[in-house]
Structure 1
């Protein structure tokens, strides 16, 4: 799927001094809280009134239609009252909404609420805290992909790192969602 309006949306973010935008997006019968990190080119979605969410990373203007969270796919079908999932339909509506989306800089409570719904197997330790020099388990890899994106996996693989998650967010949690490389440059392996 191609996000033709992402450049315009990011320009609006720059004009307003927003690095991580937060807005609501109505998808048929559902409202979806949306966080978008301009630096990481990543969306984090959470269905309002449901404990379900998912993520989407962009490569340029393109995004994969694959969502690795089965409950989120089923919820998208329910939102549409439709018996089949069509990710292109969801992303096309989101793309057409971007030029008119009313957004603000995300705050810690908004990020916390959205992130808690974005992991497929809910657990308490979902908030980035610091980096550790270590091998990554498969469970850690999946959680990192869902919360931080594939680009963070590549970064970790190249630098033999893992992100360490805590049960509560800190100032670094949101900053790492904004720009994980800047967090690593600023803090390195220190907690």
Structure 2
């Protein structure tokens, strides 16, 4: 990615019986996984050279078990296969259309608005906390708590949506709060 100048990449990953569309932000060191033909997905961050093994979305954990035709979950297994796939992944710079398609799948059905648009200065509800974790990860949740922010989501992506996925802190520094 670095040698190609790509900061947000898009590729597919075959995990047993499931095809998983993946967006990866190099700046955020974060993956957004979406199961093809399912409205389920999850995020994962890299800590050093390792992916975090905690998956925040119970439906995604269940879907991973179904993909393997297995009755128990083994996150190490998923991450080991992903690690083996990465050197051979054919990726491209992600377009707004591809991001929209992936992000629409990578969310549970509790709300329709899934595309980050801007920050708001507000207390976070439990529902907003869960949505922030699912779509943006624990690092962004900590950032929100430290700065008394909540992400505001729209039903459609913008150029800023994709740029913010590259670096949420930078987005907040550039654009600040909008009410």
TM-score range, shorter chain: over 0.9
Deviations 1:35-65 (A, max 9, x none): 1111111111111112211111122223332
Q: Is the 2:33–2:43 contact (alpha carbons within 8 Å) kept by the matching residues of 1? A: yes
SS at match of 1:124: coil
2:6 to 13, 18, 28: 18
User: Which aligned pairs between 1:2-151 and structure 2 lie closer than 5 A?
Assistant: 13-151=1-139
Segments ≥4 residues shifted beyond 6 Å: none
Q: d(CA) in 2 for partners of 1:154 and 1:68?
A: 15
Q: How far apart in 2 are the matches of 1:190 and 1:121?
A: 26
For residue 84 of structure 1, report the CA deviation from its aligned partner.
1.6
Q: 1:158 aligns with which of 146, 157, 166?
A: 146
Measure how far apart 1:166 and its partner are: 1.0
CA contact (8 A) 1:54 1:120 kept: no
1:78 Cα offset (Å): 1.7
Kept in 1: contact 2:115–2:154 (CA 8 A): yes
User: Number of paired residues?
Assistant: 179
String of CA shifts for 1:85-122, please: whole Å, max 9, x gaps: 11111100000111111101111111111112222344
- Tell me the TM-score normalised to structure 1 length: 0.88
Q: Distance in 2 between matches of 1:72 and 1:143?
A: 14
Give structure 1 stretches of 5+ with no counterpart: 1-12
**Residue 151 of structure 1: SS of its match in structure 2?**
helix
